[in-house]
Structure 1
Amino acid sequence: MTPVFGIAGRSGSGKTTLIEAMLPLLGARGLRVNVIKHSHHDFQMEPPGKDSARFRLAGAQEVMVASPYRYAIVHELRDAPEPALEAQLARLSPADLVLVEGFKQAAIPRIEVYRPALGKPPLHAEDRTFVAVVTDAPLEIGLPCLPLNDPARVADFICRSLGLG
């Protein structure tokens, strides 16, 4: 089974920016990395009016858009519940690591990206399952604290935690 590691935090904390910075570093280690991004908002993969959007709006359950460069599958849930993280992981191609942004309640090892200047309470204060905090301020919390501006150290921590080379 592919190792999975979560990156959680409040909106605007820098989760996406951290993952984006770590991806080339993990790739330089020879790791193939998949990412699942959870969103609480509706999103569109294709511009309105394009063929794939028209198919979806006409009632297709899934629409695949494919080119020589990439492909994407848009699956309409309609009245179905959002699939569990395990079901989403099962749809991904094989990889050495899956980073998961969001899914605050998932039972996976997770770090919190926390910026005290945002004025929002930290997740790690409410949820004791985090293994570390990535932050831009000194904290005394009893968990490892990693510098937000050093994605290489965060990537090292994740790899060590999961036993990846």
Structure 2
Amino acid sequence: MKVFGFAGWSGSGKTTLVEKLIPEFTARGLRVSVIKHAHHGFDLDKPGKDSWRHREAGAMQVLMLSNDRWVLMHELRGAPEPTLDEQLRLLEPCDLVLIEGYKAAAVPKIEIHRPSHGKPPLWPENPHVVAVATNGEIDCPLPRLPLDEPAVVADFILDYFKNR
């Protein structure tokens, strides 16, 4: 599996770009998976539902399934967060895994940078950033990609892997 990441400050447009890239890659015949790292807690479940009640009762894992999808919820219950490598091993084989977050992970990544947000760029301090997707002018020695043109970003990612 090829792994490519996206990093940027909150509100920069990481999720929007990944959302637009998925159909670009799938239209090209690639099977795509996504890992999203959240710095805050989250819950896919609803209080009072059976699966929520099972987790609240202390279950380590709850697997829910239907005709359309299945999900495995795993409670850490104080255990350390799994590493990125451990999470990648949980995924079914695919052609490309897009990772949102994990700024420090040693995987190639595109920084999403919006100068209008007034935040400093990440690329000067992050050796894993190989390009910057932006909607503004920035002074950067890395390739600059148009943030609002997912086909161009997809081409860059596929070319990146071809040339490695």
Find the aligned partners of 2:131 and 2:9 in 1 and give their Cα distance.
15
1:99 aligns with 2:70: no
Report the alpha carbon displacement of residue 99 of structure 1 after superposing the two structures with TM. 0.3
Counterpart for residue 19 of structure 1 = 18
Q: Is the 8 Å Cα contact of residues 7 and 110 (structure 2) preserved in structure 1? A: yes
**Given the two structures, how large is their TM-score scaled by the length of structure 1?**
0.96
Report the alpha carbon displacement of residue 128 of structure 1 after superposing the two structures with TM. 3.1
Give the 5 Å matches for 1:12-91.
12-91=11-90
Find the aligned partners of 2:52 and 2:162 in 1 and give their Cα distance.
42
Identity %: 55
1:147 aligns with 2:112: no
Report the alpha carbon displacement of residue 71 of structure 1 after superposing the two structures with TM. 0.7
Counterpart for residue 162 of structure 1 = 161
Please tell me the residue identity of whatever aligns with 2:56.
L
Deviates more, 1:127-136 or 1:24-33: 127-136
Please tell me the residue identity of whatever aligns with 1:12.
G
**Given the two structures, how large is their TM-score scaled by the length of structure 2?**
0.97
Unmatched runs of 5 consecutive residues or more in structure 1 = none
Find the aligned partners of 2:139 and 2:122 in 1 and give their Cα distance.
15
SS at match of 1:73: strand
Find the aligned partners of 2:132 and 2:78 in 1 and give their Cα distance.
37
Find the aligned partners of 1:154 and 1:57 in 2 and give their Cα distance.
42
May I ask how many residue pairs the two structures share in their alignment? Answer: 163
Find the aligned partners of 2:139 and 2:119 in 1 and give their Cα distance.
17
Please tell me the residue identity of whatever aligns with 2:153.
V
Find the aligned partners of 1:3 and 1:151 in 2 and give their Cα distance.
18
SS at match of 2:129: coil
Unmatched runs of 5 consecutive residues or more in structure 2 = none
Please tell me the residue identity of whatever aligns with 1:116.
P
Find the aligned partners of 1:8 and 1:38 in 2 and give their Cα distance.
11
Please tell me the residue identity of whatever aligns with 2:132.
V
Counterpart for residue 111 of structure 1 = 110
1:8 aligns with 2:15: no
CA displacement, residues 88-109 of structure 1 (integer Å, 9 cap, x when unaligned): 0000111000000000110001
Find the aligned partners of 2:161 and 2:34 in 1 and give their Cα distance.
16
Find the aligned partners of 1:125 and 1:143 in 2 and give their Cα distance.
10
CA displacement, residues 32-51 of structure 1 (integer Å, 9 cap, x when unaligned): 00000000111111111111
Find the aligned partners of 1:15 and 1:97 in 2 and give their Cα distance.
17
Detail structure 1 runs of 4+ shifted over 6 Å in the superposition: none
Report the alpha carbon displacement of residue 121 of structure 1 after superposing the two structures with TM. 1.0
SS at match of 1:60: coil
Counterpart for residue 121 of structure 2 = 122
